[in-house]
Amino acid sequence: MIEFKGLKISWLGHDSFVIRNGKTVAIDPFKIKGRHGPADILLITHEHFDHCSPDDVKKMASNKTVILATPACKAELAKAQIGEVRTIKPGDKLRLDGVSIEAVPAYNLNKFREPGKVFHPREDQKLGYIVEIEGVRVYHAGDTDAIPEMNGLKTDVALLPVSGTYVMTPEEAAEAAGLVNPSLAIPMHYGTIVGSEKDAVKFKELAPCDVEILRPE
C-alpha cells in the first residue's frame, strides 16, 4: 500500500486495486485474498476473465455497492446473479458520493491475437478509468497500448500495465507515462497471467516520473 496526498492505494495483484479515502473504490478484482471490501464503488474495465470475475466481485461487493462495467461484462455478471450493474462507455462521466468517475478508451495498437486482429479492439469500447477523490486523480489504464487518447489526460497517479503480450511493454508503458505525465506511476498486469517483476523494474528504469513497485496484498 502507498499513501499519496491522503489516498491509500493498494495493489491486489494483476490489474486489481483498491483506492481509499473515506470511500472505497475497487477496480478489476481478480483472485482476491483476504478482506478488502466491501467497496462503495466497483469498476470493471472489460469482460475478460482476469478483469470481470464474478466470484471476486461477490467478495468485494455488498448490496450497497455501485458496480460500473461495460455491457459485455454486465452480461457475464448477470449469469452469476450479481445484482444491479450500471453500464458505462468511453467518454462517460459521473459523480457518486463525492467520487468523480471518468471512463476513457483502452485498446491495442500492435498486440495481435492473429494477423490483423488485436486482443483488445478499439471498437469493443473496453475501458480505463480516471477516479478523482478530493482533487486527486488516479488513472487506471486498463488493458491497453500507449494510445493517442492518453495525451493530455490530467493525472496525479497512473496505474499502467507493463507485461507486454496483451498490453504495453515496459518501454511502451514508459512512453504512456510521458503522455499522461503523472507525479507517480504504479506498474500492474504482471506476475499472474504473463510478465514478471522484471517488467516492473524495467519500467521504473525508463519512466519519466516517480515509480512505486507495490507488493500484492
pLDDT digits (tens, 9 = 90+) for 136-162: 999 999 999 999 999 989 999 999 999
CA atoms of 61 and 189, how far apart (whole Å): 22
In the chain, DSSP finds a helix count (H) and a strand count (E) of: 4, 16
Query: Would the pLDDT of 212 be above 80?
Result: yes
**176 assigned to some structural domain:** yes
The answer to pTM > 0.85 is: yes
Beta pairing class for 7-13 and 2-4: antiparallel
pLDDT digits (tens, 9 = 90+) for 83-116: 789 999 999 999 998 999 999 999 999 989 888 8
**217 assigned to some structural domain:** no
Number of domains in the chain: 1
Range of the domain at 122: 2-211
**21 assigned to some structural domain:** yes
**216 assigned to some structural domain:** no
The CATH number of the domain holding residue 137 is 3.60.15.10
Mean pLDDT (the chain, rounded): 95
